[in-house]
Amino acid sequence: MGAIDQLIGLVRDCVVQVRGTTDNGGDGGFRGSGFFIAQDTVLTCAHVAGDAGDRVTVRWRGRGIDGVVRRASPRAGRSRIAPYPDLALVTVSPQWQHPVVLLDDHLPNSGTTLAVAGHAQNYGSEIVGVDGRFTFGGLNDRMIRLNGDEITPGMSGAPVLDGATGGVCAVTKATRTVHQPAGGGVAVPVRGLRHLLDCTSSRTLWDNHDRYHRCNRRWTNLADRLPPPDGGIDRATERELIATTMRLPADPQPQRHLATYHRIAGPVTPEPQHPLRDYRDVVSELAVLVDPAESLPYPLTYAIDLARVAEPSDVADQLRWWVVRVAARLGLSDQVEATLAHPPDGEPPPPRPTPSVMVCIRPVTRTSSRYRYMIWRYLDETDAPQVAADQRPAPLERVYQRLRELLPDLVEQTAGGEHPTMIEFIVPFELMDEAVDRWPVEPGSSRSIGFGLRHPVVVRALDRFDASPGTGRYWRWERRWGALDGRDMAAALRPLACTERPSPEQMTAMLQPDDALAALLLLPYPVRHPAAKVVLDAGVAEGVPVMVWRRRGCTGAPDRPHDTCRGRQLHVAVRDALRDTRREEVPERVRRIRYTAVIGGDDDHCGNDIVLLWDDPGRRPTGSVLVSPNERRHLHA
């Protein structure tokens, strides 16, 4: 029996059934598959296991044991479609000595043979073990496309073995999608766990996983017998590097891992599609990049970089020894010695985006007076997990009440580092004047201040937020945002006169010729004014990314002077605040206008009611939605 056949046997022995419980009237029925990834820890799909805190029964080798869902990504709302990553971790009572799969935090190479082992219900009611053979068919968004055998209901949550590396690289999620050949399906890569776990939880899980395989070498020994890749660093050598880096203390600012990745891989390297929580994540991402033609392989450069600053010193010595051994094997000893002797001048890492709490309020229908909300914690382009949601339609005031209760803790928990956490409200036109900046940071406290004094608060256009990349609306938005890059925002300001009443055609004609000229609009009148709706509608449609107005703006009466009116006051305050300001700094400058109003004690100051629409197209929480075999029936019911 070859190594790959033995590995498939090891995978089968780690697979479990995930079932409901009979508590509180539950039916205890079969839900899907899962598998052990650490002692007493099962990985499966969220749509199989349920929400965090739910109880399930895990069956392994014919025996059942109680389990609790410890972590789970948000499940589907009324649509019954589970968003990415659709993963859950189940903890079982410590009664069994069981095997653990060898996880592989890499995507398969093109055409790689993959194997799936899970459970399914046969033509009767019996639950049986099933296997499938597939090839890697590329990516469907961030999902692995499986081409080959059929994915049947019950296989959701089953492990996917990479035949080239000998590790489990993914979790089976769904049957085949549209435009996919007959048979097959999709799977969530193991690196999707990075969306489920914070740095501390991720390190704990991987420590437990790695400890098992240090003590039980059968799986890694079989994997190491598989043919190695042509050149480069093999998986066993990469595991040695990861084991050494994990002796380093966790970085108290994990966002620096992304900055390090950019510094090592270069500024033109595509962004990782998953967060970088720890050193091992950086190694995994760098290991799959094509080695630079005239430089060291990226993992070698990273190990050298870590060795220069590593504490304790014995870890630094281990990193240097790893570098020397690998360089000798690859014929790069002279180049490595020169690099170690003459460290390059450090380049400053790219600036980190401002972290934020994103709140989306969406009407049930365009004419509905009932709403739903979703909340994300945005840290960067690859790390914007959903942290709260309520898909039950509710009156607007009830939604606002719930958000006032949730926001203080969510904002406090979103570390801002050198920047205060921003609050982004993604809302339809009619909700843009809600005074979120005046909601109390500490509800119930007599000394509580409004969010707008402590944090930048912006609104964003729901219609544009829903635009898909590649569409005309998204392209115009992205183009105008790009036109602001590096510009002085005061020079980009286009104020409208209080008495201007442009028609939709006039607004469109004004905005189209010059992207940069009309990248920042200032409206003198309040959003409820008929002229404001024309300007906002045209601005959103034509991609204007920044607009400013007052909730109590000038009404534009033609028989009154407007040299000192509220619209003129807003123009002067915004123009002065934005001098020598870049586009990323606008929310903070508007926050300063707000606290200038409080310091001056002027009730009519524009800082008391200023509204900023600030729409960066790069700040979008992402999520893939695919239909699992168990979910499909709900879509056709």
pLDDT score of 189: 97
Higher pLDDT, 304 or 514: 304
Backbone φ, ψ for residue 562 (5° rounding): -125, 20
- Helix axis angle for 298-309 and 256-265, nearest 10°, is 130
Pairwise CA distance, residues 428 & 523, whole Å:
18
Mean pLDDT of 263-273: 83
% of the chain with per-residue pLDDT over 90: 41
Checking if the pLDDT of 579 tops 50, the result is yes
Backbone φ, ψ for residue 380 (5° rounding): -165, -175
Checking if the pLDDT of 294 tops 70, the result is yes
pLDDT score of 230: 67
Mean pLDDT of the chain: 84
Higher pLDDT, 560 or 437: 437
Checking if the pLDDT of 634 tops 50, the result is no
Range of weakest confidence among 321-335, 395-409, 415-429: 415-429
Mean pLDDT of 517-533: 73
* 70: confidence class by pLDDT, cuts 50, 70, 90: very high
Pairwise CA distance, residues 76 & 324, whole Å:
50
Higher pLDDT, 381 or 581: 581
Side chain identity, residue 558: P
Checking if the pLDDT of 340 tops 70, the result is yes
Mean pLDDT of 270-291: 90
Mean pLDDT of 167-192: 81
* 176: confidence class by pLDDT, cuts 50, 70, 90: low
Checking if the pLDDT of 26 tops 60, the result is no
* 280: confidence class by pLDDT, cuts 50, 70, 90: very high
% of the chain with per-residue pLDDT over 70: 86
Question: Model confidence over 597-617: pLDDT tens digits?
Answer: 888 888 888 889 999 999 998
- Strand order in 546-550's β-sheet? 386-395, 370-378, 356-363, 422-427, 457-461, 610-614, 546-550, 520-522, 493-495
Range of weakest confidence among 34-48, 54-68, 515-529, 573-587: 515-529
pLDDT score of 594: 92
